[in-house]
Structure 1
């Protein structure tokens, strides 16, 4: 097999050999390696792919990714084909990527991965601290292979510190970052949330860090090592709580849906729809908004000078009574009717929508946010859109989520492997295109 060359240095956004340009795209010619699993790292890499980067997903093989089960569960969409190719989070979090399935712990797979590193610009890995080093690809090794590459390590609590090496899911990071208690409704302990905000916030940090490192490389010609802690990145979403403690020496009380600065503020019942409870989220944060709400409720005198509710301090003292009045009004209307009336009066209001209500949302429909995507085994499905819009040359679905090892031959050929070489990698299970009981047996005890 031919040897991998060492990347040249020089001021450029791309590493020689990494260029698979999509004309006009912001990150055309930049190659990203996605060596992360589940959501945060993979979706961060997808966001870079949305902007035109050539993102190569290095799929775990023969060990399956955590998001690729063999047996159907709640994560799996109905349809033909392998179960692990129909996982909803896997499909949504891995758009705009090519996929190569390698065993980077094996000598042959490690050799292929080294060649990929030599032709890439950013490596994103999301394992527990120390795992990537044990696999043979710590920063010193990666930098030696390609001095121009940037490596982003994003373990839950960062690379260093007493929690380094601890394993976690997003819910444990939220607990450590203070979110689990801060979001509570006044109870001493709050349930673990069903959605994981840390996994949704970290991808934006991946994008920012990647662009910053690429910009720095324009000046220096060298890559960077980035230690990205989920917990630290997410803590800025709790800036108010942290600031109250560090600057004022006190923690704000958990108030649930209420606000310490505004009344009303919360979720209020609307008419039931199809036998199910429905809600409206609304707030009046200023006297002007309160006047609009009072008018809609048919009680304009509540906002006139002299009334105890005309000022914010007065409304804060009457929180429960005002909540009852608002609930009585919203409960006689559908959530959309209530929102339309309130917004027409300048009141902050929105329907509390279940995920299924997003699809027929007139706002999202008008903006064309959902995209029809032809997904292998599932056919054409509507998938969520992009985090931002840019003109010209904005984000687009250039590729659906790829199958396991779908681009093995394509990528390995680009790296200098012949067809016989690729068959040799398959023969020793250093590369592959499917998971099954046979590949599972290869990982037992490993």
Structure 2
């Protein structure tokens, strides 16, 4: 297969988004073969995340580029064009690019593009087949639609922070911008569904996606636990709300994750720690019983596991087919044979020099993802795109 091939080869994406949710979506589409043009504001120096560092990539002379690690995490396989949409000339250029595009994605405040004539209602009059994805904090409707939205605010408003952290501690955010990332994933799914409909009917449509909505959607079992029982879930640290033992335990020299999903696994685990009697104790013999007596069980398990080193716990439990794994720091993660085998770290040649990036997790047997363009410096493709007869041509 040619390097430019992919399942979305020929699909053209005009990306008016910035920061993380929209760029996550468009990078995924780009990895799958779509041609992506990223529009950046010359008045601000481009995507906000270009300034969200250090670290930055330095050129051969050691000078800092505008490629922050944060920006690079979501902006490969894109061209960068500098266009000021506040000017009539910029608006005309966006409309021209949109006329070549299959998809437009933006994350302005609801109504923010209407004054430029770049909202869905304006563009769809001349471009009825355009798939137009709008990402915002709270969506295009509802009492909060005019409020700005950021990942941390979505995590707070949507409830996941109330579930995260130590039981007696403060609500805690997830360590990365997970609301943004998951919103970008939902956006990609919605776009592909709308593209399928467009290809069958010729009809484009607008996708209205909110950070908060997507965060509420991935409350998953804890959300439905509440809706079913009426009981507000509490923070349990690393403990699972429905399975015991299923959390992080300290060993003599590190931490392991124990994930005992059924009673037979629990019996084999008890055999390892020298407490076979626990599997027949009515307080612990079944998962519902273990859930009810979580604290009493952990009072036995924690000292037992601290008497072994991490490698011993992992090897012994793996041999007994009990789910277990290490808690690794990122230097350990990227040094593993597994990450290497799965190509989850990649190297690309960017304008300032070589950059290391995280690979795409999708492994398609017929149409694999491709890495064709390193994250671009600001406005790198402006001259090639402005006025080009085929601006999306790779």
Q: What TM-score comes out, normalization by structure 2 length?
A: 0.90
Q: What secondary structure sits across from 1:228 in the alignment?
A: strand
Distance 1:306 1:185 in 2: 28
Q: Which residue pairs with 2:367 in the alignment? A: 393
What root-mean-square deviation, in Å, do the aligned CA atoms of Structure 1 and Structure 2 show? 2.4
Question: Which of 41, 44, 49 is residue 25 of structure 2 equivalent to?
Answer: 44
Structure 1 residues not aligned, in runs of 5+: 1-20, 273-277, 418-446
Distance 1:171 1:157 in 2: 13
Shift of 1:243: 2.1
Q: Secondary structure at the match of 2:81?
A: strand
Using the TM superposition, give the Cα deviation of residue 329 of structure 1 relative to its aligned residue in structure 2, in angstroms: 4.0
Residues 221-260 of structure 1: pairs in structure 2 closer than 5 A: 221-260=202-241
Q: Which residue does 1:262 correspond to in 2?
A: 243
Q: Are 2:67 and 1:93 equivalent residues in the alignment?
A: no
Tell me the CA shift for residue 320 of structure 1.
Answer: 3.1
Q: Relative to 1, partners in 2 of residues 1:400 and 1:263: Cα closer, same or farther, differing over 3 Å?
A: same
Per the alignment, residue 366 of structure 1 pairs with: 341
Q: Does 1:338 find its partner at 2:313?
A: yes
| 1:194–1:346 CA distance, 2 compared to 1 (3 A) | same
Count of equivalent residues: 388
Q: Which has the larger radius of gyration?
A: 1
- Secondary structure of 1:90's counterpart equals helix
Per-residue deviation, 1:313: 4.5
Cα gap change, 1:143 to 1:92, in 2 (>3 Å): same
Unaligned runs of 5+ in 2: none
Q: In the alignment, is residue 350 of structure 1 matched against residue 325 of structure 2? A: yes
Contact 1:241 1:251 (8 Å CA) reproduced = no
In the alignment, does 2:297 pair up with 1:315?
no
CA distance in 2, matches of 1:216, 1:193: 35
Displacement of 1:331 in angstroms is 3.1
CA displacement at 1:97 relative to structure 2 = 0.9
2:264 to 288, 313, 317: 288
- Give runs of aligned pairs for residues 372-391 of structure 1, distance below 5 A: 372-377=347-352, 379-391=353-365
Report if aligned partners of 1:22, 1:28 keep a CA contact under 8 Å in 2.
no
Distance in 2, matches of 1:362 and 1:328, equals 32
Q: Hey, what does 1:14 align to over in structure 2? A: none
Looking at structure 2, the residues matched to 264 and 323 of structure 1 have their Cα atoms a distance apart, in angstroms, of 8
- Is the CA contact 1:358–1:364 (under 8 Å) kept in the aligned structure 2? yes
Q: Check the 8 A contact 1:116/1:415 in 2, yes or no.
A: no
Match runs of 1:397-412 below 5 Å: 397-412=371-386
Evaluate the alpha carbon distance shift between residue 62 and residue 336 of structure 1 in structure 2; reply closer, same or farther with a 3 A threshold. farther
Q: Please say if residues 170 and 197 of structure 1, whose CA atoms lie closer than 8 Å, have aligned partners that are also in contact.
A: yes
Q: Which residue of 1 aligns with 2:56?
A: 76
Label 1:416 to 1:184 Cα distance change in 2 as closer, same or farther (>3 A): closer
Worse overlay, 53-62 or 126-135: 126-135
1:213 matched to 2:194: yes
- What are the Cα deviations for residues 320-345 of structure 1, in whole angstroms up to 9, with x where unaligned? 34324433344344434432322221
Shift in alpha-carbon separation, 1:316–1:141, aligned structure 2, 3 A:
closer
CA 1:382 to 1:332, structure 2 compared with 1: closer, same or farther past 3 Å? farther
Does the residue aligned with 2:207 lie in a helix, a strand or coil?
A: strand
2:131 to 150, 168, 173: 150
Q: What's the secondary structure of 2:314's corresponding residue? A: helix
